[in-house]
Structures are given as C-alpha cells and as structure tokens.
Amino acid sequence: MSPGYQRPPSVRPINSLRLRLLLVSVLIEMVMLTLLVANGARLIQTHLGRNTQTRVEAQEASFNITLAGQLAERDYAALQSIIEGWGAAKSVTYMVVSNSAGKVVAVWGRDAAAPLPEAERRLSPDLDEYHGAFDITYLGQRYGEARYGLDTTFMSVARRELLQQSVAIAIVEVVLTLGLLAAIGYWLTRHLDLLTRASLKVASGDFSLRLKLEGRDEIAVLTQAFNTMSSAVESRILDLDESQRRFRAIADYTYAWENWFGSDGSLRWVNPAVERITGYAVTECHAMADFPLPIVLEDDRAMVSEHLEAAKAGESGQDVEFRVKTKSGEIIWVAMSWQPIFDHAGEPLGSRSSIRDVTVQKQSADLLVEAKSELERMLFAASHDLQEPIRYILAYTQRLDREFGSDLPERALNSMHFIQEGANQLNLLVKGMVDYTRSNRPMAAFAPVDCRRVVDQAIADCRAMATGSKAEFDVGELPVVLADPVLLFILFENLISNAIKFVRPETAPRVTITAEHEENGWRIDIADNGIGIDPQYLQTIIRPFSRLHSRSTFPGAGLGLASAMKVAKMHGGWLWLDSVPNQGTTVHILLPAAPAATEEQEG
C-alpha cells in the first residue's frame, strides 16, 4: 500500500474482530475438547467396568468349580492350599471359605475371627478394593460360601492416566488452533486494513484510487467490489459537479428573482437576482424571518401571506402582483408565480416561486388604461357633437324637398338625395359609435335585470325604426341576469335590428328568442331566417366596421355585432355565431345569472 495513505484509527482490543474471532474459536474448541475428554473417560470407565465385571464373574465360576469338589469331600487342607495359591496373585487381597453351616473352613489374607465386609453387587472405580461373594454349588446343591477381596486400583489409575493424556492432547490442540486462527485472522484482516486505508483516502476526496487484485477468493471479490464502488462514486461525483455547475450557471444568472421554500415555509435558497431587484443581498434575505414578507408593502402583506400559505399547502399560482419596498426605499411592483416541487420519489420538497419586476409594465398599463379612457371620452363627446350638424343636414334637405322639390331640376334632386343618404349613413355611424363607447361601465354597477322586459323594449324600438317591416317575433321564457339595463338594451337592439335587416327578398323576417340554463349562466339564442353568413366570415364579422355587403344594399355602420360582443364581455360572458347561408343565423349570448336566480334554479 502507498505510504501516503492515511492511517486508520486504532481499534481497542475489546473491539478487535481478530481477537474476538480467536476468543470465540478457543472457547468453542475448549468446550468441544472438554466434552470429548469427558465422554472418552466415561466410555473407557464404562467399558473397563463391564470387562472387569465379566472377568470377575468368570473367575467366580472358576473358583466355584475348584472349591466345590474339595468342600464336598471336606478336604479342608486342600482348600487352604488352593486359596493360598490364589492369594499369591496380586489381584486377590483375601479369601474366606465357609461350609453350608457357616463355619469358616479356610481363610487367607484375613483374621478368621474378624467380621467380613458386606459383599458388593457391582464394581466401583471409586473404590480401591472390591468385596465379592458367591455360593459354592455343585449339581444344584449348595456346599458353602466363598468371600474374597479384589484389588481395583488399576481402574482409577487407568482413568487418571487417560484423563492426563487427554488434557495434554487438548492443550496441544488448543495451542495449535490458536496459532492457526491467529495466522488466518491476520491473513484475513490485513486485507480489511488495506480496504480501510483505501476507504479513508476515498473519503478524503481521492476517487481515483484502485486496489490491486490478488487471487480469486472472497477478499479478491471484495477488492473488486471496492474498485467498482470507487469508479461509480467518481463518476457520480463528476456528474454531480457538472450538474451543480449547470444549476449555478442557470439559477444564479436567471434574470427573475427565484426562491425555494421548504415544506415548513422557511427560505431554503434564493438566487442573486434578488439583490438586483430589491437591493438586499442573499445573506440578508436568509437572515430575515418570514422572508419575503418583511420587504412587502404593509398594505399587500396579508394578501402575499395568504398566497405563501397556499404554496406551503401544495397549491400553484401565477402572476400575483404586489408591491415591494427596496433597500433604498423605492416602491416597485412585482409579479409572483409559484408551484410545488417534489423529489424523484414524489416526496414534497416545498415550493418554488419566481418573482419579476413589473413596475414598467404596470406603469405602461396604467398609462394605456388612462389613454384608452381619454380616447373613449373624446370619441363619445365627438359622436354627440356630430349628431347636431347631421340633424341640421337632414332637416334642411327634407325642407328643400318639401318646399322646392317640384321646382328643382333633376340633377339638383339627385344631389339632394345623395346628401340625404350620406347624412343617414353618417347618423347610423355616429349612433353605432355612441353605443360602442357606452359599453365600458364597471361590473360593480350591475344589478339583476329581467331580460324579457329589455327584449320587448328593443323589439318596439326596432319596429318603429323599420317602418313597413312585417317581422314576426317568437319570444320564449327569458331569465333574470346580473347586468346593466342600458348596455343590455344596446346588445338586444343591435342583434334584433340585424335579424330584421338582413332578410331574403320576398321573405318576411321571423326572429326566435329563447334561453337555456347552463353551468356558467344563461345562454340566450336569437335566431332569424335571413340571408345567413358564410362560415369563413363568422369570426371576422364581429370586428368593428366589418361589412360583407355594400351600404346601398344593407345600410349600417358595421358596429352592431362588435358592440354586442363588447357588452357580453363586459358582463363576464361571451358571444358567438352559427349560420347557414340562405337559411339564417343564430347568435348565442352567454350571460351570468343573478345570484338569487341561480339559487332558485339550483333549488
């Protein structure tokens, strides 16, 4: 291993894997050897006892055969000689022979008058002498009894010598096992030491380290796994560094002010754009409690707090505008969009918000609204101012026609008729412009309006203006909607006027007005049997001043549908057309229902 590796921390002996392995192995070895020695001693003792017992029984049978004849003949001198001969053997310690009457007739190794010890049933290795007894019989007849003593010290000696030899062998085996296990433990753990040093080097940041493979055993497999892990970690670290650089390149240089709030609503990250927009550095933002509320204008703070709570609850939002007080004291407008964010496993990480400075756009929008309002006021004023000269023109041309029409030449009459047509057209244009500019009242001024009453009034006015028209009207049940009655009259008047104006020759106009409740309000349909509109013009015909026919064929300003669309939008609704050429047109108007009417409908 390279000498430059960091040395691993030392391991206390009590925590050493090598020492634990040795201790456990020795303990197991000692337990097993103890069991083996104990079991061996038990087996030897058992077998030796059985063999000795068998030998004693055989010897007693031999004694009986020898002693029975002499005792039957009462040859006591021969009996004494025989037992003395047997007493010369080291294994027999004494022998006493008595006749059937219990009288001792021969004795060796003991005092004849001394009481005899009680005979034992089995041999015991714990005693140095065995006291035996057997009846002397011949052909089924008992002639007396023999009592003898047998030296059994050989059994305890054999057991002791076996135990000593077994213990010696066990000690040698334990020593050899200790040496072998110590060698194996060192051989195994030295590789673990190398892996430990290598791991510390990887932990210090050197991911290029690779260990040399030696052999094909488990240690080699572990070494190969370490090298694979080092390669994978190095690759992941490089990818992570690259990803971090890309993130910083994008996040730190994003023009918008970006924030990351944790699941608890606390600020986790903010990009440097916050300093460009607000003047506060990133560190100052992290130091603020409940950021960004401290820099939000007090009047907007409650609203922003509600949106931040919604973001914490996992909701999304877009382009919420509020005011921020910069570090220099300037008040700016910003727009915030936010959405929840999750990790790869789908666990919530909080929310991300993007805030941009919209002060310039806000000021431009205010200026645009103001300019639009001013333009509409000027247009309204100009439209009203134009009505008076137009009335003069029409009045005086009609007076000339009445008083001098019969005296004027044909060319003068034609010119006067052209003037009247132009004045009438100009009057229609001015009226359309007045209606168009009047459709800008705020929705706060709206109130429940009965559509049937407004439609009846619009039909009456249209009949009065279209003298000679034989239009038929079929009006169904109409709802109460939340609207401005004046604007609603302009809408119905323009649509009904178109329905009875754009008719086919030799066809009496027929207009059907119905209503149907929908989820978002009421849909009112105005259908006619007129000339219809080519489908390709259904979108463009709604634009202001759009015309499909000449003024001489169908007079008008081209503002009727545009005014109706504007009124529908001002009421939070919409207008669209369905038409079949030469069959008729249906105008659909979607208007919100009045609250009371909505509840009644739902009930």
**pLDDT tens string 145-184:** 888 888 877 777 777 787 788 788 878 877 887 787 777 7
Residue 597: the pLDDT is 45
pLDDT category of residue 430 using cuts at 50, 70 and 90: low
Asked whether residue 263 falls in the same domain as residue 350, the answer is: yes
Asked whether residue 584 falls in the same domain as residue 538, the answer is: yes
Report the domain count for the chain: 5
Q: Is the per-residue pLDDT at 244 higher than 80?
A: no
- Whether the ω angle into residue 292 lies within 30 degrees of 0, i.e. cis, is yes
pLDDT by residue (tens digit) across 319-369? Answer: 899 999 999 999 999 999 999 988 888 888 889 899 999 888 888 877 877
* Of the residues 357, 379, 403, the one at which a domain ends: 357
Q: Is the per-residue pLDDT at 449 higher than 70?
A: yes
| Residue 336, phi-psi category: left (phi > 0), alpha (psi -120 to 50), beta (remainder) | beta
Residue 491: the pLDDT is 87
Asked whether residue 221 falls in the same domain as residue 328, the answer is: no
The CATH number that applies at residue 464 is: 3.30.565.10
Candidate from 14-18, 183-187, 442-446 with smallest mean pLDDT: 442-446
Asked whether residue 376 falls in the same domain as residue 301, the answer is: no
* Of the residues 357, 383, 408, the one at which a domain ends: 357
Asked whether residue 290 falls in the same domain as residue 392, the answer is: no
Q: Is the per-residue pLDDT at 443 higher than 50?
A: no
Number of neighbouring beta carbons within 10 Å of residue 187: 10
pLDDT by residue (tens digit) across 276-318? Answer: 999 999 999 999 988 999 999 999 999 999 999 998 888 999 8
Asked whether residue 449 falls in the same domain as residue 432, the answer is: no
- The values of phi and psi at residue 125, to 5°, are -70, -10
Q: Is the per-residue pLDDT at 544 higher than 50?
A: yes
Asked whether residue 49 falls in the same domain as residue 188, the answer is: yes
The CATH number that applies at residue 429 is: 1.10.287
The three-class DSSP label of residue 475 is strand
- Rounded CA-CA distance 403/146 in Å is 188
* Of the residues 222, 251, 280, the one at which a domain ends: 251
> Nearest Cα to 66, choosing from 148, 155, 177?
148
Measured between alpha carbons, how far apart are the two ends of the chain, in Å? Answer: 87
Asked whether residue 144 falls in the same domain as residue 199, the answer is: yes
Asked whether residue 283 falls in the same domain as residue 398, the answer is: no
Asked whether residue 507 falls in the same domain as residue 465, the answer is: yes
β-sheet bridge partners, residue 98: 104, 145
Q: Are 472 and 509 in contact (CB under 8 A)?
A: yes
Query: What is the domain range of residue 365?
Result: 359-437
Asked whether residue 3 falls in the same domain as residue 90, the answer is: yes
The DSSP output letter for 297 is -
Asked whether residue 335 falls in the same domain as residue 392, the answer is: no
The CATH number that applies at residue 330 is: 3.30.450.20
Mean pLDDT of all residues in 544-550: 61
pTM score = 0.41
